[in-house]
Amino acid sequence: MDAIKILSFNARSLKGRKTVAATFALFEFHSADICAVNETWLAPDLKNHEFIPREYFVLRKDRLGGRRAAGGVLLAIRPHLQPRRLQHLEGGAEIVWASVRTGRLRLLVGSAYRRPNADVEYNTALLRSLESAAREQHNFDGILLMGDFNLDIKWDVEPPVVGVQPADAFMDAFAEMSLAQLIKTPTRTTDSSAKILDLLLCDIPALVEETRVVPGTSDHEALVARLAVSARRPISAPKQVPNYQRANWSVLNEELERRLYDVHGEEDVINAWERWKKTVFDCIEEIVPKKKVGGRRKSRHPWMTKQLKQLISIRDEFFNEWRICRKEEKRQVYLRARRSTQAAVRAARDDWLWHLGLSKNGSNELWRFINSKAKVPFDTTSFEIDGRTFSSPELIAEKFSEVFQLNFSQEQSFPYIRRTTQQATGTTQQLCVLHLAPAHVQFLLQRTKPAAPGCDGITAPLMKNCAAALSSSLCHIFRRSLCTGEIPADWKTAAVTPIHKDGPKEDVRNYRPISITSLVGKVLERIVRDQLTNFLESKNVFPVNQHGFRARRSCTTLLTGLIDTWTAILDEKSGSHLHAIMLDLSKAFDRVPHGRLISKLQHYGVGGEVLRWLENFLTGRTQYVKFGGACSAPAGVLSGVVQGSVIGPLLFNVFIADLPKDISSGFEQYADDTTLWRDVSTPEDADALQEDLNRVYLWCANNGMQLNQRKSYVMDLTRARAPLYFEYAVDGEPLQYVDKQRLLGVQISSDLRLNVQTDAARAKAARVLGFAARNLRGCTQRVKRVAYLSLVKPILTYGLPAWHPTTQANINKMERVQKRALRFIHGRRPPPPQEANIMPMNMHLAYTDLNFFKRCEGGAIDFNNRARITVRRQLRGDANNRHQRLQPPPARSVFGQRAFSFRVVQPWNDLPPELKDCPVAEFPSLCKKYLWQVYSDSDQ
């Protein structure tokens, strides 16, 4: 048990280039449990852990408005204290309140800032917040309030001497709450004054054992305190784990191959698997060296070395000497030590950033650093359900498990239905047996990607490096599993991680379960999935309008075809209206009834061993939720396809394959994301669309699915000035009309203009570029370039064939982001685009269209790119040209010419014949070379 430590300081900007390193050093050196920071100068688009260490739960209140960054407060609290924000106490004041728990004690903690010369309204808001806290004071065992109050009060005398207003008003508020001010030495010293501006107030002074004033990161000193209460920081118990980096793989492979030969004689799948596991773990225990993990607190910042901490300690000694004697010469000595320490801290971090990504495992280090800044597993440590709040990791895990159980459908309501097997042309094709060989198993093992192991403990490095030794024995186990339909319990048990979807993060119902399953089991899933996919595709089971989880299809193919079709219809008939209904199926993957899915598989020709294995795979599964080191009790999986499994998406596609049946309107799907649309000009057209919507609703009702009316919307797509509205309803509940809606990551506006999506992509790319610039400022050009091409460029170019901007204004918006990126990479004077090897946006747009078209031509993408394109009639001068020139579809306006089918034709016709004929794999590089040549010629 460790005493709870407090840290409070005025930062005067956490985001300054010179203060970031100092802030991280201050946090790590003092290792506080509760940190209060004033004058953060942050904006809402900045992520918490760019400036605060990742092990803290951050509660922020940024100052909004104003011509420049200023103000702002935050609390950073370690999760084991179960912090919970109390926003109802804050009002409009610059203050953050939170409750924390340690044992049976419940404390109220506040971080406040009062700006100098604050007006009456500002002071009143802060005093009202203190009054609100006073009214709830009886609910807590103690109050700690920290911050820079800028009050004209002499705290170093007893009683304190109150100066000008509003000091007396705040003194009255502190007295009303029985708060004692514990800091008695100046916290801000200048050449002419020394004042106590940063306060630490507590209603039970005995609660605070020690207070100290230490060097801060700005012109204010920091406050450090130790409480008389303790809390145990969660530290994983020390344990010995295999050190695969030092493993002798050749010896391990030889031993595994020799010992695993006996597994071939075991016919029972369960016994064979258990014997296989024991043999593997025995070999690992004997051959692979161990390393100790856990049991101690590690430095989160590799650049924070022992020597650097010693330098900080020396600086603090000089500070204490000056603070005791208050002599000017001692102060100058301290200031010199402080400047040298600040320079050393910045240099250490800059040097570490410069070498980031340059080592042998540089790529992993780079992305580990970026993810530590951008991704945090949970942004809250307390969750709510039905008005009740839960903070204990054990309770939260159980509540998540209960909520995920509610997502399941009741199997008895949607039983197994026997159907006649679907007839193919002339014969009845069935898939009853799967074929596998050790060579194919070895190939899949070698392609195992780094991933968390399942409950069986078999890791990815072991599978990848010992593929040759493991493949034969695993092939035997897989064959026996397929023949008998038996599946080991390890392969049917999942550790579930809650992943936030949308809505308030405190609500456990806004999370989806992602399962971590056995990596060995996933190898067999891949074998089953590949052969099952080939069989179902050969029978054309999946409708042409399903783009999700299918080879050579993607969100881009759906969006490109849909927007191209919509644009053509609106361009052809002036004033026409398209009504598009975007449907949301609630918890679709979790609600799939197993019996109904099995009956559909049988209907499509899956039988024998394959059907028996799939039925066993789906039924009798268990899962448990992991959260904060705690695990819920195992629970049965009553329905659904496993999210996180290999074969789950394919099985969902099988289940939903008969949804478009008998629908006359336009219909597009990406897995469960469904878009229903129709050209509407009369009430009869609207009735036909409503009838198709009813068919979708009836299918959902008969198959255990549920349409989410609150998240389903209608759009009136038109170029006409006057809208045309008809009411559409789901189960009697009317759907809401919207002017814009996000469809598979692309913003669709009711007039199909591209400004909305261009602005959204530009804004998001600019935010991510700002994030990269702040956190990778000291890195090499190579690292910065990788960050831009991996983090920023994909945002600008996502789905481009579908929403390709054609106006120069929109292109310039995207180009400005790229020019900022070039300055980020190369400095204020970036080289020309060709020297930087980053295509200008105009060129990149042309390249994206041409590459997409070529991949469609070569069969790499399953998309009918010539649906509206025809072959131009051969002219007299074209007799020797064996390449057919394409004819774009008719377009009545510039609006129609924006469509993919129109704009891609001329650039494609202009390509040299050898470029059109080259293999698909070679086209990207050759096309870029050709476009760079065109770009160079146009500049001359």
Q: Across 628-702, where does the E strand assignment appear?
A: 630-631, 635-636, 666-670, 673-679
Q: What is the 3-state secondary structure (H, E, C) of 365-378?
A: HHHHHHHHHHCCCC
Interatomic CA distance for residues 714 and 726, integer angstroms:
10
The amino acid at 422: Q
Tens-place pLDDT, residues 377-432 = 665 667 777 767 777 788 889 989 998 998 888 765 555 555 555 554 334 678 99
Tens-place pLDDT, residues 915-934 = 999 999 999 999 999 999 99
Q: Which residues contact 312 (CB under 8 A, 6 or more apart)?
A: 25, 29, 341, 345
- 196 contacts 213 by C-beta, under 8 angstroms: no
Name the least confident of 92-106, 216-230, 387-401, 914-928.
387-401
Name the least confident of 195-209, 374-388, 790-804, 855-869.
374-388
- 545 contacts 660 by C-beta, under 8 angstroms: yes
Interatomic CA distance for residues 493 and 391, integer angstroms:
26
**Residue 358's pLDDT band (cuts 50, 70, 90):** confident
Q: What angle do CA 785, 789, 793 make, to 5 degrees?
A: 135
The average confidence (pLDDT) of the chain is 91
**Residue 210's pLDDT band (cuts 50, 70, 90):** very high
At 167 the pLDDT is 92
CATH number assigned to the domain with residue range 2-234, chosen from the 4 options 3.40.50.2300, 3.60.10.10, 3.30.70.1560, 3.40.50.12280: 3.60.10.10
What is the per-residue DSSP string for 676-697?
Answer: EEEE-SSHHHHHHHHHHHHHHH
At 501 the pLDDT is 84
Among the listed residues 311, 266, 260, the one whose alpha carbon sits nearest the alpha carbon of residue 281: 260
Interatomic CA distance for residues 164 and 123, integer angstroms:
13
Q: Which residues contact 749 (CB under 8 A, 6 or more apart)?
A: 739, 740, 755, 756, 757
At 413 the pLDDT is 57
Residue intervals of the chain classified under CATH 3.60.10.10 are 2-234
Average pLDDT over residues 659-668: 90
- 260 contacts 276 by C-beta, under 8 angstroms: yes
Q: Which long-range contacts (CB under 8 A, 24 or more apart) does 914-921 make?
A: 916/854, 916/883, 919/858, 920/854, 920/855, 920/858, 920/859, 920/860
Interatomic CA distance for residues 714 and 725, integer angstroms:
10
Interatomic CA distance for residues 480 and 270, integer angstroms:
10
**Residue 878's pLDDT band (cuts 50, 70, 90):** low
Q: Which residues contact 435 (CB under 8 A, 6 or more apart)?
A: 531
Among the listed residues 91, 80, 100, the one whose alpha carbon sits nearest the alpha carbon of residue 36: 100
Interatomic CA distance for residues 235 and 297, integer angstroms:
7
At 877 the pLDDT is 57
Tokens coding 410: 């009741």
CA-CA distances (angstroms) from residue 548 to 182, 536, 558, 660, 674?
Answer: 62, 15, 9, 14, 11
Among all chains, which residue has been given the structure tokens 């609630």?
Answer: 586
Tokens coding 135: 């009214």
Assess whether pLDDT exceeds 90 at residue 689.
yes
Interatomic CA distance for residues 563 and 565, integer angstroms:
5
- 207 contacts 182 by C-beta, under 8 angstroms: no
Average pLDDT over residues 125-133: 96
Interatomic CA distance for residues 36 and 226, integer angstroms:
14
Tens-place pLDDT, residues 770-809 = 999 999 988 999 999 999 999 999 999 999 999 999 999 9
Highest mean pLDDT: which range of 271-285, 370-384, 425-439, 925-939? 271-285
The residue among 358 and 150 whose pLDDT is bigger is 150
Q: Determine what percent of the chain is predicted with pLDDT higher than 90.
A: 75
3-state secondary structure at position 581: strand
Interatomic CA distance for residues 844 and 800, integer angstroms:
10
Assess whether pLDDT exceeds 80 at residue 485.
yes
The amino acid at 773: A
- 215 contacts 335 by C-beta, under 8 angstroms: no
Tens-place pLDDT, residues 807-835 = 999 999 999 999 999 999 999 899 998 89
Average pLDDT over residues 6-11: 96
Average pLDDT over residues 531-552: 94
**Residue 687's pLDDT band (cuts 50, 70, 90):** very high
Tens-place pLDDT, residues 501-511 = 888 888 888 88
- 28 contacts 300 by C-beta, under 8 angstroms: yes
Interatomic CA distance for residues 168 and 152, integer angstroms:
9
Q: Which long-range contacts (CB under 8 A, 24 or more apart) does 86-92 make?
A: 86/136, 88/132, 89/129, 89/132, 89/133, 89/136, 90/61, 90/129, 91/125, 91/128, 91/129, 91/132, 92/125
Q: Which residues contact 466 (CB under 8 A, 6 or more apart)?
A: 249, 252, 253, 256, 445
Tokens coding 702: 């008969």
Name the least confident of 257-261, 616-620, 870-874, 931-935.
870-874
- 907 contacts 913 by C-beta, under 8 angstroms: no
3-state secondary structure at position 761: helix
Assess whether pLDDT exceeds 80 at residue 122.
yes
At 395 the pLDDT is 87
- 542 contacts 549 by C-beta, under 8 angstroms: no
Question: Could you tell me how many residues make up the chain?
Answer: 940
Assess whether pLDDT exceeds 50 at residue 278.
yes
Point out which residues pair with 143 in neighbouring strands.
108
The residue among 192 and 728 whose pLDDT is bigger is 728
Point out which residues pair with 8 in neighbouring strands.
36, 223
Q: What is the pTM of this model?
A: 0.89
Assess whether pLDDT exceeds 90 at residue 546.
yes
Interatomic CA distance for residues 26 and 18, integer angstroms:
13
At 651 the pLDDT is 97
What is the per-residue DSSP string for 220-273?
Answer: SPEEEEEEEEEEPPP-PPPEEEE-GGG--HHHHHHHHHHHGGGGGG--SHHHHH
Tens-place pLDDT, residues 324-333 = 988 889 999 9
**Residue 937's pLDDT band (cuts 50, 70, 90):** confident
At 41 the pLDDT is 95
According to DSSP, the β-strands at 666-670 and 635-636 are unpaired
Tokens coding 904: 């891609």
According to DSSP, the β-strands at 383-385 and 73-77 are unpaired
Interatomic CA distance for residues 793 and 27, integer angstroms:
34
Q: Which long-range contacts (CB under 8 A, 24 or more apart) does 881-887 make?
A: 881/913, 882/913, 883/913, 883/916, 885/909
At 239 the pLDDT is 84
Among the listed residues 802, 800, 904, the one whose alpha carbon sits nearest the alpha carbon of residue 844: 800
Interatomic CA distance for residues 601 and 598, integer angstroms:
5
CA-CA distances (angstroms) from residue 929 to 235, 822, 841, 894?
Answer: 55, 21, 16, 30
Average pLDDT over residues 519-530: 96
Tokens coding 513: 């379960």
Assess whether pLDDT exceeds 80 at residue 646.
yes
CA-CA distances (angstroms) from residue 730 to 658, 694, 700?
Answer: 20, 7, 11
Assess whether pLDDT exceeds 90 at residue 18.
no
